Amino acid sequence: MGTIHHKEKWECNQYLNGAGPPANQERPNGGRAGVALKNEQSIVGDQPDGDMKWISLPRSLPCYPHCGTIEIEYNFNDGMQTEKHPRPGKPFAGFRTVAYLPDDREGNELLRLLKQAFDQGLTFTVASGSNGSEAVTWSDIPHCTGFTNPEPYFLMTVKQVLKSKGIE
């Protein structure tokens, strides 16, 4: 699930991530580099290669007794950091976790959006820990990781965060 960065996307992402505006270069379509149009390209994150799988469970989440549950499993193996990570060429520790959504219309729509975020490399990142080593960790997209009551507006909050990243 690696991502290939086209020059225009990379420059735009550097700008969107606070690295300052890119050089004022012509793009093949006549536009300027660094101007990300919604239909032209999307934000690409620095998530390492990993897997996202999901299954439906017959068990209900406490706040959603009317339906089953979608269990999402994320898995990242140990690996080597690339130029998009804190210490290129150095190892990072993998990560495995699960998250839950209600298996209803709203939960399935959110699953579609979360899959898009994952495919764009926005769900996880590689970060330095307090002990100085790097590991895969969550980015800023909230997930319900326990089989408990999510906060009342959890699904709406996740949708708002995804919308802020251009995922609708």
In the chain, the amino acid numbered 103 is D
Is the model's pLDDT at 127 over the cut of 70?
A: yes
* Residue in 90, 81, 87, 94 with CA at minimum distance from that of residue 135: 94
Q: Beta strand 68-76 with 124-128: parallel, antiparallel or unpaired?
A: unpaired
Is the model's pLDDT at 139 over the cut of 90?
A: yes
Angle between helices 105-119 and 154-164 in degrees, nearest 10: 30
**pLDDT tens sequence across 72-121:** 999 999 999 999 888 899 999 999 999 999 999 999 999 999 999 999 99
Q: Cα torsion for 80, 84, 88, 89, to the nearest 10°? A: 30
HEC assignment per residue over the chain = CCCCCCHHHHHHHHHHCCCCCCCCCECCCCCECCCCCCCCCCCCCCCCCCEEEEEEECCCCCCCCCCEEEEEEEEECCEECCCCCCCCCCEEECEEEEEEEEECHHHHHHHHHHHHHHHCCCCEEEEECCCCCEEEEECCCCCCCCCCCCCCCHHHHHHHHHHHCCCC
Return the pLDDT at 47.
Answer: 95
**pLDDT tens sequence across 46-78:** 999 999 999 999 999 888 889 999 999 999 999
Return the pLDDT at 147.
Answer: 80
